[in-house]
Structure 1
Amino acid sequence: MAMNMAENKTLDYALRALQLIFAIIVMGTDGYAIHVFRGHTVYEQFEFGNFYDYYGVPDAWGFLMFCAAWTVLIVIFHLFAGISFADRALIGYIRVAVEAVAVLSWLAGFIAVAVQISTNTCSEGKAPCGSIKAATVFGAFEWLLFMVTAALTVMVVFNSSRKPRASTTKPGAAV
């Protein structure tokens, strides 16, 4: 049953469409949070001297935006690779590697942003907090979707029986 589910093209297209939709939602909510967040200058006082320190948009928010953009490229690659190069072993291994990188980047991205939600960066009363929380939730769902598609891709690539391109028998061999 698992192999039938892994080779189901309709299921694959539905999961890829969900990944694309969630990536667009993350781009929109994260982009809005980045746009609305206002960096601020803080006057720091130390015993060795005083200085002004600027706090800008957290790096994790930008990394989540990268993950969403990377997802759009991954979905396009998988649709193209599934149609054009379905019987090539190397493309199958590249698909597995791309899925693994996507799973790890989404895991790192949504956890990094979730950790910053509880800090002073996103305290109550600040404008981008609601949208960055939404981006974090959709990032977690995106990670779950990539876990499913990565498992299905691994099953398809490593359990498929590929036909050799050349004959394994010698031309003069007796049959």
Structure 2
Amino acid sequence: MAVTMAENRMLNLALRALQVICAIVVMGTDGYAINVYRGYSSHVDTHWGGFTAWNGVPNAWGFLLFCAAWTVLVVIFQLVAGNALTHRPLVGYISVAVEVVALISWFAGWIAVAVNIGTRACATGYVGCGALKAATVFGAVEWLLFMVTTFLAISLFLNSKRQGQAVA
């Protein structure tokens, strides 16, 4: 069952289209939250003296934006490499590695942004907090989509490897 699903081109295209759509939504919502974010300053006292620290946009928000941009490149690579997967084993290894890295990146990205919700960075009443919550939800959906495509890529790679060994 999994092998026939992995070889189904229409399923692959539909999942890749959903990944690009979710990535575009994350780029828009997270980009908006970053754009309207107003940093805050905090006074820090140390035994050497005091200073005022400026706290800008949290790094997790930028990382989620990177994950969305990275997804577009991953989808383009996977669509191009999909045809060469059965003929070149190195492309198969790279394809699976790219899927796994994207999967881990999305998991880390949406979790890191979800941790910021409700803190001082995204306090109640903050203008961009709703957009950031939407970006987190779509990031989690993107992670689930990558769970499916990673499973399909690994099963297709292992199946093509078995077929190549049986022929040789």
Could you say which structure has the larger radius of gyration? 1
**CA offsets per residue over residues 11-46 of structure 1, 9 Å max, x none?**
000000000000000000000000000112233345
TM-score normalised to structure 1 length: 0.89
Q: Which residue of 1 aligns with 2:87?
A: 87
Q: In structure 1, the residue corresponding to 2:142 is in which secondary structure?
A: helix
CA apart distance, 1:118:
2.4
Count of residue pairs brought into register by the alignment:
166
Q: In structure 2, the residue corresponding to 1:83 is in which secondary structure?
A: coil
**CA offsets per residue over residues 30-75 of structure 1, 9 Å max, x none?**
0000000011223334554221110100000000001000000000
Q: Which residue of 1 aligns with 2:113?
A: 113
CA apart distance, 1:119:
1.3
Report whether the alignment pairs 1:53 with 2:42. no
Residue pairs, 1:1-150, within 5 angstroms? 1-46=1-46, 48-84=48-84, 86-150=86-150
Structure 1 stretch displaced more, 147-156 or 78-87: 78-87
TM-score normalised to structure 2 length: 0.92
Q: In structure 1, the residue corresponding to 2:152 is in which secondary structure?
A: helix
Question: Which letter maps to 1:162?
Answer: G
Q: In structure 1, the residue corresponding to 2:41 is in which secondary structure?
A: strand
Question: Which letter maps to 2:132?
Answer: I
**CA offsets per residue over residues 109-132 of structure 1, 9 Å max, x none?**
000000111211111111110001
Q: Which runs of 5+ in 2 are unaligned?
A: none
CA distance in 2, matches of 1:15, 1:86: 20
CA distance in 1, matches of 2:58, 2:23: 19
Structure 1 stretch displaced more, 39-48 or 145-154: 39-48
Structure 1 stretch displaced more, 148-157 or 80-89: 80-89
Q: In structure 1, the residue corresponding to 2:65 is in which secondary structure?
A: helix
- Identical positions, percent: 58
> RMSD over aligned Cα, in angstroms?
1.7
Q: Which runs of 5+ in 1 are unaligned?
A: 169-175
